[in-house]
Amino acid sequence: MTPFLTDFFSGCSRQVILVDLVNAVNGGKEEVNKLQQILKNVFKIHDYGSNNWLRRLINPNIEKILVATSKADLLPPDQHRKMQLLLSSLLTNEIDTLKQKGCSYNALAISSIRATENRVISENGHDIQAVCGRLEQVADDQENWVTVIPADFPESVKQLEVKNGHGLQNLKFSPPQNWRLGKDALPHIRMDQVIDFLVGDLMG
C-alpha cells in the first residue's frame, strides 16, 4: 500500500466504491471497459478477507464491499436491477475471489438525492416506465419539467454498442424544490440499504 492508503484506510473493514455507470454507458463500450479496468485495479491494492477478533483490533482486512453506481434517479425503477447486473458483470472474477475469502459483496444502484419522480406513460395500449424532473439552470419562476423515457439499460458489456450512448448525459435535474432544511428528509434511492449493508451488523 502507498503511505496514503496505509495512514487513512488500513484500519477499515468496510469499503464503498462509488462509480458513475450511466456516464460510462453513455460513452459506449470503450468507456465501460476503462471503468472495468479501474475497478479491477482498486481490488489489487487492498487486503480482503474475513477477520477474527484479534485481526479486527490490530490490522483488519476489508470484509464487506459495496460497489454502488450513482444517478439511479435518471432511470425508472424497473431498470435499476439492470444497472446492478452490469456493474457486477464487470467484476465477475473479483467477486468470486472475494467470496472465497469470506467477504460479503453487494452492488446497488443509488441516488443520495433523488431529483426525479417516476411516471407511467401509456403508449399504443402499453404502459412505459419513465422519469420526470425539473432541469437545472432554470429560473425559479419557470416550470421547465421534462419527462424522459430512457432506452433499455444494458445488463452486460456484450449488449453495448461501441458508439451507442444512453441519451441521458446532457440532462441534469434540480433537487426537490419543496424540501425544507431540518424539517424534511431528502428523497433518496437505497441509501437505507447502503447503511444497512455496511453497518447494520454493528448496530444490533
pLDDT in tens, 58-111: 678 889 999 999 999 999 999 999 999 999 999 999 999 999 999 999 999 999
In angstroms, rounded to a whole number, what is the distance separating the alpha carbons of residues 105 and 15? 10
Cell (9 digits) for 105: 459483496
* Least confidently predicted of 40-44, 68-72, 152-156, 173-177: 173-177
Among 15, 14, 35, smallest CA distance to 24 is for 35
Q: What is the pLDDT of residue 152?
A: 87
Greatest alpha-carbon pair distance for the chain in Å reads 63
Q: Are strands 126-134 and 64-69 parallel, antiparallel or unpaired?
A: unpaired
Domain ranges of the chain: 3-197
Q: What is the pTM of this model?
A: 0.85
Cell (9 digits) for 119: 411516471
**Residues 6 or more apart in contact with residue 185 via CB below 8 angstroms:** none
Angle among Cα 68, 24, 41 to the nearest 5 degrees reads 65
Strand ranges (DSSP E) for the chain? 14-19, 64-69, 104-109, 116-123, 126-134, 145-148
